[in-house]
Amino acid sequence: MKENTRLVLAGRHPEQFAGVVNTPVFRGSTILSRTMAEWEDRKKRRSRDEHGATTYGRFGTPTHHALQEALAELEGGHRSLLFPSGLAAGITALTALLKAGDHVLMTDSAYSPTRTFLLRVLGRFGVETTIYDPTIGAGIEALMQPNTRVVYVESPGSETFEIQDVPAIAAVAHKHGARVVMDNTWGTPLFFKPFAHGVDVSIQAATKYIVGHSDAMLGVVTCNEEVWPQIKATSQDLGQTAGPDDVYLALRGLRTMAVRLQQHQAAGLLVAQWLQQRPEVESVLHPALPSHPGHALWKRDFTGACGLFAVILKPCSRAALEAMVDELALFGIGVSWGGYESLVIPFTPERTASPWAGAPALRLHIGLEDPEDLIADLERGFAALAQTQAKESAA
């Protein structure tokens, strides 16, 4: 089946719910058995890891099982697990694969809270982390150590948008017996297939494009068969679970994700191309633009682009930047992305291994509004920036 068809059908079993199209919301903790034989059978099925088998609500309800089944199929992995946030998903995967004395290689472009967890929490328990340049590719071999157990990638980085050569990095990691963990939130299951590119564990903040409506928090880990037992056991050891209402919203959002992403992609490219022509703009960090340093890798490995990218402005004062952002009416100021609404936020990335000189910088998420209206809004913002600069020059 084609991808859009699979997106509609994956994880759906209406025959189990009186023909209801969407898997209902199951809010439950206790799962009753009528007989001891049924109880023992439930436990055996769960110990055999049969899909949908459960003995307690924390291990998932039919609502959870439907989304997990769909996401594993779409990403091309063995199994998926759900978490209360993308960060919870990421740190559980890392905790599952690491122990005291191990070494991790983490890309300098990684989501900052994940980086902080490695350095501040796992570092306290004897895990060593080396931050590497995201553009290193196969050169990462020079950083591998005998105790390197995980190589963490995020492509593109969700602030600075470097595209990583994931297959080359994965080949080196596997040669040295390390696992590759990837944050695939930007690519989504539709635009990047992590397991086809050598990834062992894929993380997504389902809060973003899977939910798609800025009204639920959710994370997902999808993994290959080899690491599944470690991921599953650690998730249960840490008591990780996700609320069924948020899971239901993700299931509902999943069905329209392809349609939404096509609009995000088309509008995002239109706005990015327009920004490239603005005299106030130094550069536009959008992987689908031929001018992007990682465009060739993006074109090779990805099948599309979402609505998230960054803009580096030419030097201006903080007051001028604030005047521009404050003037925007259609872009909300907020840290998330992937919803139907457009967002803007200034940022200064945390860097260790690779220098960053792009300032001032704005991260934009292009939502589902008409791109002509968004461009007109940005024009008003640039006018406010110019007006503030003129006042500063006259002062």
Q: Is 58 marked active-site?
A: yes
| DSSP state letter for 290 | T
Q: Is 111 marked active-site?
A: yes
Q: What is the 3-state secondary structure (H, E, C) of 28-92?
A: CCECCCCCHHHHHHHHHHHHCCCCCCCCEHHHCCHHHHHHHHHHHHHHCCCEEEEECCHHHHHHH
DSSP-assigned beta bridge partners for residue 79? 223
Q: What is the dihedral of CA 63, 69, 74, 78, to 10 degrees?
A: 150
Q: Which of 115, 193, 208, 363 is catalytic?
A: 208
Q: Which of 58, 252, 299, 351 is catalytic?
A: 58
Within the chain, residue ranges assigned H as helices are 3-9, 36-47, 62-75, 86-97, 112-116, 166-175, 188-191, 228-237, 244-255, 257-276, 295-301, 318-327, 371-394
Q: Which of 79, 102, 108, 111 is catalytic?
A: 111
Say if residues 228 and 207 touch (Cβ distance below 8 Å). no
Q: Is 44 marked active-site?
A: no
Q: Is 208 marked active-site?
A: yes
Tell the burial category of 126 from Cβ atoms under 10 Å away from its Cβ (0-12, 13-18, 19+): exposed
DSSP labels, 297-323: HHHHH-S---SEEEEEEPS--HHHHHH
Residue 32 CB partners (closer than 8 Å, separation 6+)? none
Q: Which of 183, 200, 246, 301 is catalytic?
A: 183
DSSP-assigned beta bridge partners for residue 201? 181, 223
Catalytic residue list? 58, 111, 183, 208
